[in-house]
Structure 1
């Protein structure tokens, strides 16, 4: 998988991801309206079909890479595209609860019933794709699969932090609610040991599909 690793670690590094690297000052927790926080969570959890586009940076502690990301979610089915405009290279991950397929790598497509194992084998990085489907919306993933989620809320009943399955997720910035769309995360950082995933969402689309 040398070509893919080079693409992600070197080619994508040419992209400026200042927004992901710059971390806002921590915000103090505030008195939380439990009913408001629960209502916010329920609105975000109810989103089954959505698209996001933005910038992503991943690291395993010793090396990392960054690039553009486009994520399309339709219930349990996802299509995630990562691209490096400078090198004109890209790869695409498609899957659901039954497994995943990775295209755009040397040697042809690869498939695995475990998407995290597939990405670890192909890239050397730990990326919790299945849980991120929920975490990117600011909600905990399924308890029966990932264990209980612990959330810390801040102003407006919005999560500041979420801990689940050994990962710590920080919500550094949120988009305001709009007609037909709840408040949604703009800046997210997920960490587990030396692994980290940073995401800046430039656009959310939660309209009818």
Structure 2
């Protein structure tokens, strides 16, 4: 796998995990469907422009989220582990295959140290459950009838399909996220496909 694509996959995994340190957690009293502990797996694809060239990559992920920790494993399409991420309130650790772990106080800083730019998908801890914070800072709960939002940190989200679209607060199955620019990356497009619950 070319080094640029490998590093981008690692950055994406870091961004996925990074949500634990930056996301505003909803109150269970006001958002009854939100779960602070979830285990998910799925696939993701990334497309972007860098230095005028279109790049794309694909991978698989496993996501384990607890109130005080998020763990992400990112695998190549053939199943090799590319990176593991562990995020707690005070520390983020990124371990690339065959390399020593690197740690920082937050995942955005760790991504910056590792790759030279930050991919701040800070809301993904919410997105995977169909929630976001909109441009005005209001809580957004996605549904089949209300499936798109622009977030406070500049992402355009579209919840494309659902695990069970008849549930009171359905869990997403496919999420498209876009952003015009992130550092020297332009036209960033991320598609997340969440596997059905076992």
TM-score if structure 1 supplies the norm length?
0.65
1:183 matches 2:176? no
Structure whose CA Rg is larger? 1
Question: 1:44 is matched with which residue?
Answer: 33
1:84 matches 2:95? no
Residues 24-39 of structure 1: matches in 2 within 5 Å? none
Question: 2:159 is matched with which residue?
Answer: 171
Question: 1:111 is matched with which residue?
Answer: 103
Q: Is the CA contact (8 Å cut-off) linking 1:168 and 1:191 kept in structure 2?
A: yes
Alignment size in residue pairs? 169
TM-score if structure 2 supplies the norm length?
0.68
Question: 2:15 is matched with which residue?
Answer: none
Query: Within 2, Cα distance between the matches of 1:4 and 1:44?
Result: 40
Greater relative contact order structure (CA < 8 Å, 6+ sep)? 1
Query: Within 2, Cα distance between the matches of 1:52 and 1:204?
Result: 8
SS of alignment partner, residue 119 of structure 2: coil
Whichever structure has more helix as a proportion of its residues is: 1
Residues 1-209 of structure 1: matches in 2 within 5 Å? 5-7=4-6, 42-45=31-34, 47-62=35-50, 63-86=55-78, 88-105=80-97, 107-123=99-115, 126-141=118-133, 148-149=137-138, 151=140, 155=144, 158-176=146-164, 182-193=169-180, 194=186, 195-204=188-197
Shift of 1:64: 3.3
Shift of 1:185: 0.6
Deviations 1:4-41 (A, max 9, x none): 6453569xxxxxxxxxxxxxxxxxxxxxxxxxxxxxx8
Deviations 1:89-143 (A, max 9, x none): 42101102322100125641111112123224434664334321012211125x9
Aligned-residue CA RMSD (Å): 3.6
Query: Within 2, Cα distance between the matches of 1:120 and 1:59?
Result: 20
SS of alignment partner, residue 164 of structure 1: coil
Q: Which runs of 5+ in 2 are unaligned?
A: 10-29, 181-185
Q: Which runs of 5+ in 1 are unaligned?
A: 11-40
